Amino acid sequence: MTKRTARATARANIALAKYWGKSDVALNLPAVPSISLTLDGLVTTTTVTFDETLAADVLELDGRPASAKETARATELLDRVRASMKAPSFARVVSANRFPTAAGLASSASGFAAMAGAAVHAAGLSWSDAKLSALARWSSASAGRSIFGGFAKLPAGVPGDAKLAAKPLFGEDHWDVRIVVAEAAKGPKKVGSTEGMERSRLTSPLYDAWVQNAPAITAVIEKALKKKDLDTLGAAMEQSTFAFHACAMSASPSILYWQPTTIAALRTVETLREKGTSAWATMDAGPHVKVLCHAADAAKVKRALAKTEGVLATMVCKPGARRLPER
């Protein structure tokens, strides 16, 4: 009996330049470039064991057997690894997200980055970061960025380019910023990112405008990141955020990820700025508000968000380091 096993840890990331929409659905290529910050606090740990006695892949997620859909997504990734194995077998995957799954806190990013790292290592393969990122990206575009620590960029994909991978821009020590997460609701979101993106692409009158404008916004963010110019970066990040949400809201049927608490937290961020604190908001495909600020302002921002009506919890995240296979 042969068992090959490996464990890997990956961290979620928050997009500063947002990703929304695919240029190639089959290859899961993004239609727009995105830039992310990998976060220290949002960790997934995954163990993959290739086991020839198994009759099918098995996924355990956060201590429960995963659904058929979740298991099928894992099998797709494992199949791409098995294609490079001499003696492929099914695998048992045990994964834990140390934060809410499917609630807009990018569990798919750290989830598929950790699974890619563990599966490739368990298979005994030595893949480059670019190859690992392309593998993770195929399962979840944001996962391609979570292969790296610090700040990473995923370019827009040209249809057919299966090798598209994220690139590291700066390490976690580049800039002492914080992301303060304000949890705005409990439970999984109603429309998953993949479905929301496809509906936006197919039905939103704002979709083409979003795709056309995103590269210019991303370029502003990349330049401001290099110069560590928080006000310029923050304003462009908010523009990127509101543009993609407008695109989702104007789909048919409309997709509104926000809750009343989301708006309340956005007002808190505005008030902080009016009072002189450089704090900037972003939201992903969910109701939570994530606020970018200088490390020195994080406690003040956290206090203001915690006092905001409806906010359930707050969490301060530092830039996170890369931490993949535990070789």
- Smaller CB separation from ligand ADP, 74 or 266: 74
CA dihedral defined by 246, 104, 77, 9, rounded to 10 degrees?
140
What residue number has its CB nearest to ligand ADP?
Answer: 111
The stretch near ligand ADP (CB under 6 A) out of 23-31, 100-108, 210-218, 272-280 is: 100-108
Binders in 34-53 for ligand ADP, by CB under 6 A: 44, 46
Exactly one of 4, 11, 22, 73 binds ligand ADP (CB under 6 A); that residue is 73
Shortest distance (Å) from residue 228 CB to ligand ADP = 28
Query: Binding residues for ligand ADP, how many (CB under 6 A)?
Result: 22
* Structure token digits, residue 225: 């990141």
- Smaller CB separation from ligand ADP, 16 or 285: 285
**Binding to ligand ADP by residue 106, rule CB under 6 A?**
yes
The radius of gyration of the chain from alpha carbons, rounded to an integer in Å, stands at 19
In the three-class reduction of DSSP (H, G, I as helix; E, B as strand; rest coil), residue 158 is classed as coil
Shortest distance (Å) from residue 286 CB to ligand ADP = 6
**Binding to ligand ADP by residue 107, rule CB under 6 A?**
yes
Shortest distance (Å) from residue 44 CB to ligand ADP = 5
CB atoms within 10 A of CB 216: 11
Rounded distance between C-alpha atoms, residue 106 and residue 286, angstroms: 9
For residue 202, which of 247, 241, 162 has the smallest C-alpha distance?
247
Is the distance from CB of 136 to CB of 307 less than 8 angstroms? Answer: no
**Binding to ligand ADP by residue 143, rule CB under 6 A?**
no
DSSP string across 248-272: HHTSSS------HHHHHHHHHHHHH
* Structure token digits, residue 235: 């304003």
- Smaller CB separation from ligand ADP, 73 or 153: 73
**Binding to ligand ADP by residue 104, rule CB under 6 A?**
yes
**Binding to ligand ADP by residue 269, rule CB under 6 A?**
no
Exactly one of 75, 84, 101, 232 binds ligand ADP (CB under 6 A); that residue is 101
Rounded distance between C-alpha atoms, residue 288 and residue 106, angstroms: 11
- Smaller CB separation from ligand ADP, 77 or 304: 77
Exactly one of 111, 144, 287, 325 binds ligand ADP (CB under 6 A); that residue is 111
**Binding to ligand ADP by residue 105, rule CB under 6 A?**
yes
Rounded distance between C-alpha atoms, residue 20 and residue 99, angstroms: 22
Shortest distance (Å) from residue 111 CB to ligand ADP = 3
For residue 325, say if its preceding peptide bond is cis, omega within 30 degrees of 0: no
Q: Can you list the pairs that 210-213 forms with residues at least 24 positions away whose Cβ atoms lie under 8 Å?
A: 210/20, 210/21, 210/32, 210/243, 210/244, 210/246, 210/247, 211/21, 211/31, 211/32, 213/243
**Binding to ligand ADP by residue 97, rule CB under 6 A?**
yes
The stretch near ligand ADP (CB under 6 A) out of 19-27, 34-42, 108-116, 236-244 is: 108-116
Provide CB contacts within 8 A for 159, sequence distance 6+: 23, 24, 27, 29
The stretch near ligand ADP (CB under 6 A) out of 20-28, 49-57, 96-104, 220-228 is: 96-104
**Binding to ligand ADP by residue 108, rule CB under 6 A?**
yes
Exactly one of 102, 122, 224, 315 binds ligand ADP (CB under 6 A); that residue is 102
Rounded distance between C-alpha atoms, residue 240 and residue 229, angstroms: 17
Binding residues for ligand ADP, rule: CB under 6 A, are 44, 46, 61, 70, 73-74, 95, 97, 101-108, 111, 115, 192-193, 285-286
